[in-house]
């Protein structure tokens, strides 16, 4: 159930999706009594809604970033979030991946002013076995909901990209394309 709710949140955070995914998200939202934005017309195709955005990896493979999101957990008063969040946002814009922000205190920061609230269920799903700290980033396959921890703490862009490459290689090796 949690994975379905998380899938609905990830799908609803994008502006346009294929009709099948929107229908699944809408059904999940109804089941959870969560109000959702109306689904796009059934004629919207996956290709048009989520065009491929390719990131070359260090081993020569390429990954379609349209199938992945980076999830970041923040707090409004976290100085490390205030340092890292602009780096993450600029990196996302430069390389074409999407970021979904969750807040531990229900408030945003200058970079992510309107994050989603990190519910206990979301925290349990992401932080099982990990210490809770901000900022913490995860890589999520939006098709399979496979989740991979990226980093805890603030880093500069080269370190983030190096770690992202490592995690993508690990994820792709495990068949989570």
User: Which of 138, 131, 161, 175 lies closest to 58 in space, CA to CA?
Assistant: 161
pLDDT of residue 30: 42
Q: Residue 55 pairs with which residues in a beta bridge? A: 63
Q: Are 108 and 117 in contact (CB under 8 A)?
A: no
35 by Cβ neighbours in 10 Å (0-12 / 13-18 / 19+) ranks as exposed
Tell me, what DSSP letter sits at residue 113?
A: S
Domain ranges of the chain: 2-49, 54-173
- The rounded distance, in Å, linking the Cα atoms of 8 and 57 is 29
HSE-CB of 162 using CA atoms within 13 angstroms: 5
- CATH number 3.40.50.150 given to 54-173: no
Q: Residue 71 pairs with which residues in a beta bridge? A: 100, 138
pLDDT of residue 174: 82
User: Which of 118, 99, 103, 106 lies closest to 160 in space, CA to CA?
Assistant: 99
Residue 175 — left, alpha, or beta (φ > 0 → left; ψ -120 to 50 → alpha)?
Answer: left
pLDDT of residue 5: 53
Q: Tens of pLDDT along the chain (177 residues)?
A: 555 555 444 444 443 333 334 444 444 444 343 333 333 333 333 334 578 999 999 999 999 999 999 999 999 999 999 999 999 999 999 999 999 999 999 999 999 999 999 999 999 999 999 999 999 999 999 999 999 999 999 999 999 999 999 999 999 998 554
- The rounded distance, in Å, linking the Cα atoms of 78 and 59 is 35
pLDDT of residue 51: 86
User: Which of 175, 55, 170, 73 lies closest to 115 in space, CA to CA?
Assistant: 73
Pair of tokens at residue 16: 């346009």
Tell me, what DSSP letter sits at residue 114?
A: S
């Amino acid at each position: 159930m949690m994975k379905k709710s998380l899938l609905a949140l990830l799908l609803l955070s994008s502006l346009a999706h294929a009709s099948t995914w929107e229908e699944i998200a809408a059904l999940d939202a109804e089941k959870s009594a969560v109000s959702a934005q109306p689904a796009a017309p059934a004629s919207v195709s996956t290709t048009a809604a989520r065009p491929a955005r390719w990131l070359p990896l260090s081993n020569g493979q390429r990954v379609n970033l349209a199938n992945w999101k980076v999830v970041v957990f923040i707090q409004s008063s976290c100085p490390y979030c205030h340092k890292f969040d602009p780096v993450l946002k600029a990196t996302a814009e430069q390389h074409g991946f999407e970021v979904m922000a969750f807040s531990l205190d229900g408030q945003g920061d200058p970079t992510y002013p309107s994050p989603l609230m990190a519910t206990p269920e979301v925290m349990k799903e992401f932080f099982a076995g990990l210490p809770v700290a901000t900022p913490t980033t995860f890589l999520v396959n939006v098709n399979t909901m496979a989740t991979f921890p990226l980093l805890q703490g603030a880093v500069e862009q080269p370190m983030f990209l190096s770690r992202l490459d490592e995690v993508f290689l690990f994820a792709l090796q495990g068949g989570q394309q």
